[in-house]
Structure 1
């Protein structure tokens, strides 16, 4: 029997973190996405156990400051694109500078140096992934999606969608609809 599942990766990660930290009796506080504050009384041995437990789930503790900053940039972008009902009306450079307390020039340089892509490209990819999710799960119109993701027009959204996926949003929706139809026929 084949099962199809839908899950929220951010929620799953939070639950795993909570379960593993409680299992190892570590006092903690979940902060922003990707940030946890733990009690300073944790021994190195217990910390290593927690780290090993989390690694099994693909969750890694970042020790390098630049790696931490890269992850904070990614988390801020994912939070901005996925967790807000509408993207901020300020510029993304201002939003990231305010959120991370660094100049945008510094953030952009570090990000591109370590990820080999620009913040702008990363944001476009995240927005297109969110657009695909909105098309599939919420069945919003392209006008509603372009508004929600702060595109200047449906044409701009469509252009970026095609550049990233190789498909127009309409073609993508038709493929999804055909797959749904086939699945329903098999059942």
Structure 2
């Protein structure tokens, strides 16, 4: 029993240390940018030992990938919105809501997404991670399109994965535009426009 208590305490301490490192790393990335940030700065800010830090993470790329998973998890929750429309109008409403929420989240998470964009351009590990995140979204969209096709709402002759890829890339392009502050139009206007173009091409 005593041994289990010791193990539990160790496990709890390990989780807390990992969390402290992630929080410190986020601050350092936001202050320094991806390129200049160092794991030494993160360790110092988190007030943990060097050895302890390397038990949890191999380096700053490894830490950023975990932070990326956390942030993109919020975006993925939007993609996971229940999608069982009974009509084209209902489908359009759900898709518009998803596109709007996705792009609004880009505004909310702008600063961290700026760090991710820097890292994607520099680190092959982060770039590969972004590709796998992208594929997860595409597979989810593809599933929704298949549902619409099977239920006679969308054009059956269209390849659902290709359509899903096109839709995600449209959203991703505007996401980066928002992150870089390159758009004058409102999120609402962008979401409305891209939803109209997408649904009118796909739905019957």
The verdict on a shared fold, with TM-score over 0.5 as the criterion, is no
Q: Report which of the two structures shows the higher radius of gyration computed on alpha carbons.
A: 2
Name the one with the larger helix percent: 2
Q: Greater relative contact order (Cα 8 A, min sep 6): structure 1 or 2? A: 2
